[in-house]
Amino acid sequence: MSTLLLMNFPQKVCNNPSMQIHLSKVVLPVVMLTAIAFLFSSEQQAVHAQQSAVGIWDGIYTEQQVARGQSVYQEVCASCHKEDLTGQDMTPSLVGIGFSFKWQGKNLQELYASMRYGMPQSAPGSLSDQAYADLTALLLSLNGYPPGESELGADEDRLTLIEITSQR
């Protein structure tokens, strides 16, 4: 392709015979070096993105959030989902295989948003963003995901980046 591009350029840049520069000797190396630099830069950005990505197994919530989530759960959610979170009648289980079946392969924003915009059923969205984040932390804890040093936030763009997986 670079040969085709160079065929359309005049072969000589100036008329002075001592200053004649053939474009194929200048342009091709410049194009090649630019392409190599671009590819190297893109690869470095991809590696950095992978290294800075936070996974669900990296401890993305705190024990304090779990305690607050437990309080909110007992007050607002337990009447439908039962004290042990196993659900009843048409109310789904929030732990174990019921949780895994529903949320495996989805991102954390989907879990958070299902609560934020759909629960409690009698008054969807009536809790604070922090309360929904705390409930999310509770569910993660009870489903075996480890706690960490930083609180789980309610930023749905960031939650979208965290996939719910059963494998570390």
pLDDT in tens, 8-61: 545 555 555 554 555 456 555 665 666 666 565 555 544 444 444 789 999 999
d(CA 161, CA 107): 7
Is residue 95 within 8 A of residue 102, CB to CB? The reply is no
Find the length of the chain. Answer: 168
Which of 5-14, 95-104, 141-150 is the least confident region? 5-14
Confidence of residue 70 (pLDDT cuts 50, 70, 90): very high
Cα–Cα distances in angstroms (integers) from residue 85 to residues 96, 117, 131, in the given order: 9, 19, 17
Token pair listed for 153? 């936030």
| pLDDT for 5 | 46
Confidence of residue 167 (pLDDT cuts 50, 70, 90): confident
Which residue would you say has higher pLDDT here, 40 or 157?
A: 157
CATH of range 63-160; options 3.40.50.720, 1.10.8.60, 1.20.950.20, 1.10.760.10 = 1.10.760.10
| pLDDT for 61 | 98
Confidence of residue 139 (pLDDT cuts 50, 70, 90): very high
d(CA 87, CA 91): 5
d(CA 40, CA 76): 52
Give CA angle at 85 (61, 116), nearest 5°: 55
Which of 22-26, 31-35, 77-81, 113-117 is the least confident region? 22-26
| pLDDT for 54 | 86
CB neighbours (10 Å) of residue 90? 6
| pLDDT for 104 | 96
Is residue 98 within 8 A of residue 88, CB to CB? The reply is no
Bond before 29 cis per omega within 30 degrees: no
Q: DSSP code of 107?
A: B
Rg of the Cα atoms in the chain: 28
Give CA angle at 51 (49, 56), nearest 5°: 100
